[in-house]
Amino acid sequence: MGVEPVHRAVMQQGWYDLCSLHYRYDPDVVSRVLPPGLEVDIHDGSAWVGLIPFSMRRIGLPHLPAVPYFGSFPEVNVRTYVVRDGRPGVWFCSLDISRLVPALVARGTYLLPYCWGRARHHVADGRAVTTVQRRWPKGHASTSIEVEIGEHIDEPSPLDEFVTARWGLYSRGFRGALRYAPIEHVPWPLHRATAAHVDDSLITAAGLPAPSTEPYTLYSPGVHVRIGAPHAVR
């Protein structure tokens, strides 16, 4: 089935100063947190779980000014990669942000597992520093991440493309039905990066065991994103 184009965007966003820390997992382990109907997408024999801090900016409707205050905030999501009927996509285990209203709106519209709490993501002097302290929903979870940003990548590797060239997201709709929303943006400009410090419980709070490997780490200055309306997967 492949990529579904965004013929008519219902939302636009900016995803900037993005760090991606990806861990190898046994596909059978990751499949336990997926709903029926989705399969783990595998690269190099492994499932991959991402811990993704970035700055969300200028959320808004197409052709209208961005939403002030509520439209920009730091985010850290825990995600993995899935496929259904040949169409790859992203499955979000959690998305932590520092704005309560957008978290409630996203839960009610895209039905994504947004969480609210204290969050900070800052990039300066070649280093990205991120912290999260979840307040809602119930349950303790936090993260503290420092990433050192390296040189620009001229030729992305197959793994680089696997974890970044994702043009849609899956979510669980009402009564458990699967939904899919297409995503459109230019290819990510990528940099090599090193995780200098990671102290995280967001991954285990998502129902996965703690990572047993060092993260494969990338950085991107970011992209502008157009998102299509979610629709039921038949």
- Identify the CATH class of 9-232: mainly beta
Domain ranges of the chain: 9-232
Q: What pLDDT sits at residue 2?
A: 61
Q: Residue 133: beta bridge partners?
A: 118, 142
Q: Rounded mean pLDDT of 170-190?
A: 91
Indicate if the pLDDT at residue 219 is higher than 80. yes
pTM above 0.75, yes or no: yes
More confident site: 62 or 206: 206
pLDDT (tens digit per residue) in 188-214: 999 999 999 999 999 999 999 999 999
CA 73, CA 126: separation in Å to the nearest integer? Answer: 21
Q: What pLDDT sits at residue 60?
A: 73
Contact between residue 226 and residue 9 where contact means Cβ atoms under 8 Å apart: yes
Model confidence at 178, in pLDDT bands (50, 70, 90)?
very high
What letter does residue 6 receive in the DSSP assignment?
A: -
Q: Rounded mean pLDDT of 29-43?
A: 97
Indicate if the pLDDT at residue 70 is higher than 70. no
pLDDT (tens digit per residue) in 16-26: 999 999 999 99
What secondary structure, in 3-state letters, does 32-81 show?
A: CCCCCCCEECCECCEEEEEEEEEEEEEEECCCCCCCCCCCCEEEEEEEEE
Indicate if the pLDDT at residue 66 is higher than 70. no
**Cis peptide leading into residue 137 (ω within 30°):** yes
